[in-house]
Structure 1
Amino acid sequence: MTDSGARRRWLGVLVLVLAAWFLVRCGHASQPADSPRTTPAGGPPGATAAASPSTPGTPAPVGSSPDAPLPGAYDPAFYAPQVRTHATRAGVDPKLLMAILYNESYKPHDPELERAWQRYKPDASFGIANMHRAAFDETKRRHGFANRRWEELPDDRNLAIEAAAWHLHDLAAQLPTHWPGTYTKDELLALGYNTGSRNMLAFARGAHPGSQAQSYLDRLHANWARAGKSVSARP
């Protein structure tokens, strides 16, 4: 959801946020030796137990699999099964959803670091799909995870992917059957994800995106082949 201009803002205060994150990490490291910590079977040292899945029967979130990475170690391709599942259920292109995850992977997706950043910038987005609170709350009311909270997104990557898929579904429902603009459906949905539904409809009518929206679209194109390879790969 965050455009390329946010990269510069992110880098401008990253040192401050990292300092806060480091203090939090130090606090965790200084806990007594007998403090309880739950490690998933076969998981890497220091991995904590996973958050509960978003809905019964959906793929488990990060941390619940013996092969799950540490929360800060993030590669969108690792979540190809969840992307395929949620995109199919939402009726959107899995390649589009994966390409958006690649677009949104420019910043560290460590839960504690995301919360440190959010304390500095309260309107920041959360989760690996960089979803803002308003978009999440609007999406969850229409679909099967109304009992979930936006604050859970940094810890539950499955929920983040599910919410992004249904948000794309809702954006697609707003598109007209035909539009005079030259953009494809997937391009318009990516622009809608980045800039909002009103701008998406304006682009469909032929409006030209600004530099930030165009940069987001350019990165989508750059990530398209990699996204396709990721979602088509099978274990």
Structure 2
Amino acid sequence: MVKAERKRGLRARWLVFPVAALLGWGCTRYVGTHADPGSTKPTPSASASASAPAKAAPTPGGTYDPADYAPQVRTYAKKAGISAQLLMAILYNEDYKPHDPAFERSWQKYKPDAAFGIANMHRAAFDQTKRGRDFASRKWEELPDDRALAVEAAAWYLHDMSEQLPSHWSGPYSRDELMALGYNAGGGNMAAFARGAKPGSQAGDYLARLRENWKKAGTAVGG
């Protein structure tokens, strides 16, 4: 009951927007995380194979089930060398707001620093993550319409977080938990958490939701 109320509360925050934003969208339809570029240092990857997962079309109205993207999650997690369960859990964490392409673009005009796509990635984080990778020619503006691209970018961002982790850390978090905290708060904060710093309320809530979503994320990807 508490979990359901928390999720409804998170969604409610994104459904009560300024009238100007709703009018700009036409008042016909129904936005954290996000990868903060922080101190990320992407490492160019080898060329990906030509057989990437097919682009999945967004569901009208902005609703969707992250589990529907399990094939893309497994494929890109494997390419990026990260846990598919972690990547799926991140998608569940980011499912607190509607993901309708038209609405995301309308909201971005009202709030230029808003995140795009089902993985809620900011422009600077996407532009930094794509460097040297097979999606380097893609644009951040494509994320709302191409959910496979959003999954791919999130996978490589998590890869970059993994590359920044020290060999040993004193904090009470697992590797995957630290990477998720890095996705939410940036590489610099992730390093601080690895040294034992206590996450603030936003990062702490993100970690709590990750743990809540962990089991169903594993089920979704067949883990």
Deviation at 1:18, TM superposition (A): 3.7
CA distance in 1, matches of 2:50, 2:182: 29
**Corresponding residue for 1:215?**
205
CA contact (8 A) 1:77 1:230 kept: yes
TM-score with structure 2 length normalisation?
A: 0.81
CA contact (8 A) 1:71 1:111 kept: no
Q: Percent identity?
A: 63
Structure 2: where are the runs of 5+ without partners? 1-6, 30-47
CA distance in 2, matches of 1:211, 1:152: 31
Q: Against the structure 1 CA distance between its residues 146 and 76, is the aligned structure 2 distance closer, same or farther, given a 3 Å change threshold?
A: same
**Corresponding residue for 2:87?**
97
**Corresponding residue for 1:17?**
21
| Partner amino acid, structure 2, of 1:10 | W
**Corresponding residue for 1:56?**
50
Q: Against the structure 1 CA distance between its residues 115 and 221, is the aligned structure 2 distance closer, same or farther, given a 3 Å change threshold?
A: same
Give the 5 Å matches for 1:42-121: 56-63=50-57, 69-70=59-60, 72-121=62-111
User: CA offsets per residue over residues 150-169 of structure 1, 9 Å max, x none?
Assistant: 00000000000000000000
RMSD over aligned Cα atoms: 2.4
| Partner amino acid, structure 1, of 2:180 | A
Say how many residue pairs are matched: 198
CA contact (8 A) 1:191 1:200 kept: yes
Helix, strand or coil for the counterpart of 1:127?
Answer: coil
Structure 1: where are the runs of 5+ without partners? 26-53
| Partner amino acid, structure 1, of 2:51 | G
Q: Against the structure 1 CA distance between its residues 60 and 133, is the aligned structure 2 distance closer, same or farther, given a 3 Å change threshold?
A: same
Q: Against the structure 1 CA distance between its residues 139 and 18, is the aligned structure 2 distance closer, same or farther, given a 3 Å change threshold?
A: same
CA contact (8 A) 2:170 2:194 kept: yes
Q: Against the structure 1 CA distance between its residues 15 and 105, is the aligned structure 2 distance closer, same or farther, given a 3 Å change threshold?
A: farther
Is 2:137 aligned against 1:156? Answer: no
Q: Against the structure 1 CA distance between its residues 8 and 192, is the aligned structure 2 distance closer, same or farther, given a 3 Å change threshold?
A: farther
Deviation at 1:182, TM superposition (A): 1.2
Helix, strand or coil for the counterpart of 1:105?
Answer: coil
Deviation at 1:73, TM superposition (A): 3.3
CA distance in 2, matches of 1:231, 1:151: 27
User: CA offsets per residue over residues 176-209 of structure 1, 9 Å max, x none?
Assistant: 1111111100000000000000000000000000
Following TM superposition, where does structure 1 have runs of at least 4 consecutive aligned residues deviating by more than 2 angstroms? 4-12, 14-25, 68-73
CA distance in 2, matches of 1:102, 1:218: 12
CA contact (8 A) 1:104 1:130 kept: yes
Give the 5 Å matches for 1:181-200: 181-200=171-190
CA contact (8 A) 1:187 1:217 kept: yes
